[in-house]
Chain A
Amino acid sequence: NAGVTQTPKFRVLKTGQSMTLLCAQDMNHEYMYWYRQDPGMGLRLIHYSVGEGTTAKGEVPDGYNVSRLKKQNFLLGLESAAPSQTSVYFCASSYSGTGRSPLHFGNGTRLTVT
């Protein structure tokens, strides 16, 4: 049982380049989330989805887009990467939106924008 899988694990981009981070879960979870982690800032929510075909903005959505075309996948896109987007990105999923349903995290993607 793979759980939550993030692809790729590492990536280096040049300013202005675009890329898509893929998150896949095999637990039939409804809710999926993208967080970024920066030193001294904890994890901050970028976007999330409460079900297939839905997306919503989190705390720091600017510069990112997301799509949830299939229930098991949640894609995070950077259309024009900036150095400020250098970070570790975590995807997570949960069965429901309540606190009774724990979040399952992927192992993160380290992105460097030069």
Chain B
Amino acid sequence: AQTVTQSQPEMSVQEAETVTLSCTYDTSESDYYLFWYKQPPSRQMILVIRQEAYKQQNATENRFSVNFQKAAKSFSLKISDSQLGDAAMYFCAYRSALNAPLVFGKGTRLSVIA
């Protein structure tokens, strides 16, 4: 079974600075998708960014970008120019290319310091 590991339970960053959240995963598959979800205090689950494993180019969405290292099974999220609204729980998730549910990591709580 696939597993997703987020080794940083908590992180903090100064406003306007850059922070990187780590994620590693374990799989024997070659085709899959990786995601980062944001959960603010409102409890809503918000999709931040998605990466398709067969694409070598790292995904970017405005201030959010990923560093996808397929051989190392690593998928880190970089948040640039951090804003107070970025404070939230961030979950890394894996989904097989086949019909399979999403598998989540345990999450990283990000605090943004003004």
Contacts and interface: CB of A to CB of B under 8 A. Distances in A.
Judged by DSSP, the binding face of B is loop
Interface string B27-66: 0000011010000001111010010100000000000000
A69 B26 CA distance: 35
B45 A50 contact: no
Interface stretch (A60-68, A74-82, A101-109): A101-109
A90 B45 contact: yes
A50 B47 contact: no
Contact of A105 (B44, B50, B103): B44
Give the 10 A-B residue pairs with the shortest CB-CB distance, closest first: A99-B33, A97-B99, A105-B45, A42-B106, A99-B95, A42-B104, A43-B104, A108-B43, A45-B101, A42-B107
Contacts of A40: 9, 106-107
Interface residues of A, number: 25
Interface of A: 31, 33, 35, 40-45, 48, 50, 58, 88, 90, 92, 96-100, 102-103, 105, 107-108
B105 A97 contact: no
B100 A97 contact: yes
A11 B88 CA distance: 24
A43 B9 CA distance: 14
Given A100-B33, A107-B43, 19 more contacts: A41-B106, A42-B4, A42-B91, A42-B107, A43-B104, A44-B104, A45-B101, A90-B45, A92-B102, A97-B99, A98-B99, A99-B33, A102-B47, A102-B50, A103-B45, A105-B44, A107-B42, A107-B44, A108-B43
A33 B45 CA distance: 14
Interface of B: 4, 6, 9, 32-33, 35, 42-45, 47, 50, 52, 91, 95-107
Nearest to A45: B101
A100 B100 CA distance: 12
A88 B107 CA distance: 15
8 contacts: A33-B102, A35-B104, A43-B91, A43-B104, A97-B98, A97-B99, A99-B33, A99-B96
A105 B93 CA distance: 14
